[in-house]
A and B are shown apart, each in its own frame.
Chain A
Amino acid sequence: MARALINLPSTARPGEVIEIKTLIQHPMETGFRPGPNGQMLPRDIITRFVCSYDDAEIFVADLHPAIAANPFLTFTTVATASGTLRFTWSGDNGFVQTETRTLTVA
């Protein structure tokens, strides 16, 4: 399991725009870098990040090798109702990691 950091407020007022910051530990090997033996290191990156809020996808990111190691993403959403936010990163070599956070809207 890669270490993932997710920063969002635990409570919000209805209709408030909240900022969500996510960071996950991952080398994001580009596939364009030679290794010690002179051969190119195979590509190993996270290709997709999805954030869903009560099963509705609110933010999707498609990533390419030009994203820095330990991909950091910041985006916003409108706090509509109390619920669960699900964060999923997926990528090369079958990499999948899901984290969930709860948000209380009152």
Chain B
Amino acid sequence: MSETMPFRPSRREAVALGAGAAALLALRPARATPETMRAAIRELVGDAPLREGRMHLDVPPLVENGNSVAVTVTVDSPMTPADHVRRIVLFNEKNPLPQVASFQLGPRAGRAVVATRVRLADTQRVTAIAEMSDGSFRQTGAEVIVTLAACVEG
């Protein structure tokens, strides 16, 4: 009996190591889901209806490298003081966070066009919301197939 005693703590250590490894795996970042994206959009627009159309999200349908994806949002608006786009907001479904960027425009923009480059962690749908000067909202989206994901897991 006494000879087996020194052996037991090392077994416990082995179990503890295993638990530690499992905890490390659980620490990997949680991903946004279509539900969290919808919740983030609702946080922006409230109960206002989201109308489709009169705006366009231009993004390549197939991208090789998710670390840099060119995105252009165009809203069909005269951009006058009476009728313009106040804000263009981008969302995604499967990155760690649903928010991508928010752009504040005004009648001085002349055209409602913004372009940037984003990271995409997976094949997913990208959504753009436009807040108009009358307080209404429009939305559009595009599916993107990503072959090499942005490095979320190192």
Tell me if A67 counts as interface (CB < 8 A to partner B).
yes
Nearest chain A CB to B121's CB is how many angstroms away? 8
The majority secondary structure among interface residues of chain A is: strand
- Chain B residue at minimal CB-CB distance from A18: B110
Tell me if B15 counts as interface (CB < 8 A to partner A).
no
In the complex, identify which listed stretch (A3-11, A58-66, A86-94, A96-104) lies at the interface while the others stay far away.
Answer: A58-66
Assess A75 versus B103: contact at CB under 8 Å? Given A34-B154, A58-B108: yes
User: Count of A residues near B, CB < 8 Å?
Assistant: 33
Once the chains bind, are A76 and B113 in contact (CB under 8 Å)?
Answer: yes
Once the chains bind, are B109 and A78 in contact (CB under 8 Å)?
Answer: yes
Nearest chain B CB to A88's CB is how many angstroms away? 14
Cross-chain contact of A32 among B29, B102, B105, B106 (Cβ < 8 A): B29
Once the chains bind, are B118 and A60 in contact (CB under 8 Å)?
Answer: no
Tell me if B117 counts as interface (CB < 8 A to partner A).
yes
Cross-chain contact of A76 among B92, B109, B151 (Cβ < 8 A): B109
Task: Please report which residues of chain B, range 94-129, place their CB below 8 angstroms from some CB of chain A when the two chains form the complex.
Answer: 95-97, 99-106, 108-111, 113-120
How long is the Cα–Cα vector from A63 to B71 in the complex, in angstroms? Answer: 14
User: Count of B residues near A, CB < 8 Å?
Assistant: 35
How long is the Cα–Cα vector from A59 to B151 in the complex, in angstroms? Answer: 30
- Chain A residue at minimal CB-CB distance from B67: A68
Tell me if B3 counts as interface (CB < 8 A to partner A).
no
Assess A61 versus B101: contact at CB under 8 Å? Given A66-B95, A68-B118: yes
Once the chains bind, are B96 and A73 in contact (CB under 8 Å)?
Answer: no
Could you list 30 A-B pairs, sorted by A, with CB under 8 Å? Answer: A18-B110, A33-B152, A33-B153, A56-B108, A57-B104, A59-B104, A59-B109, A60-B103, A60-B104, A61-B114, A62-B101, A62-B102, A64-B101, A65-B95, A66-B92, A66-B97, A66-B99, A66-B118, A66-B119, A68-B69, A68-B117, A71-B117, A73-B114, A74-B72, A75-B103, A75-B113, A75-B114, A76-B109, A77-B108, A78-B108
Interface of A with B (CB < 8 Å)? 17-18, 30, 32-35, 38, 40, 53, 56-69, 71-78, 80
